A = this chain, B = another copy of it.
Amino acid sequence: MALASVVNIASTSTAQAGILAQSKGAMTKAVIVDQALKIASSQGLEGLTVGHLAEVLAMSKSGVFSHFGSREELQLAVVREYYRRFEARVFQPALQEPRGLARLQKMINLWMQTSIQELSAGCIFISGAVEFDDRPGPVRDELVRSVQTWRAALKRAIEQAVEVGDLKTDCAPDAMLFQIYSYVQGLHHDARFLQISRSVDIATQSIQQIIDQNRSPRA
């Protein structure tokens, strides 16, 4: 679909045209970010160039720049969009479950589902962590903020599961968070880089083991 044809504003009044031009701008921006996210997932955020993006979208480079003033602004938009989708797919639905193990388990299950789907495309939180680990600046800050928000939500779910008596009172939430998060990273490494086909099963079982080890006897 050519971007120019997204909204046709030829035969409208000036007021309508103003609103439509605005929404056309927003839609174009959304199409650019969507495509940029696809590229960044497989090539990394640092592999994202305005030239390549413009080519894929059949736009001019200046057309892309008119929506995002710089490559960094585009990278930031990609990180925010990725987080928004992650939150909608993983975090929000889990909040429908009651506090405790049910919610924690739902968060982990949806996260694993998303991770498994991402094994072919790549995940910008995991590649971004390596790309930006010693590259200070706004993109690194935004990545850290997103990852920390998700980790804080997971930790809160673990703590709530202790409070309602589903997990043992001597369970260490920081260690449990580290262990589960490491297994999701290990899954990406083993499945994508080493192409070990059993990785999904081993990672799923290892995460379940962590939950079972911390489960309260009365849960």
Contact = CB atoms under 8 A, between A and B. Distances in A.
A213 to B, nearest CB: 8
A165 interface: no
Contacts of A205: 175
B194 A148 contact: yes
Residue picked from A131, A178, A202, A206, most chain B C-beta under 10 Å? A178
A174 interface: yes
A65 interface: no
A209 to B, nearest CB: 8
Given A193-B129, A194-B144, A42 B134 contact: yes
B186 A182 contact: yes
A122 B42 CA distance: 22
A206 B189 contact: no
Contacts of A148: 194
Contact of A186 (B147, B178, B198): B178
Interface residues of A, number: 36
A198 B179 contact: no
Contact of A185 (B189, B199, B203): B189
Contacts of A130: 44, 126-127, 130-131, 193
Contacts of A178: 183, 186, 190, 199, 202-203, 206
Interface of A: 42, 44, 122, 126-127, 129-134, 143-144, 147-148, 174-175, 178-179, 181-183, 185-186, 189-190, 192-194, 198-199, 202-203, 205-206, 213
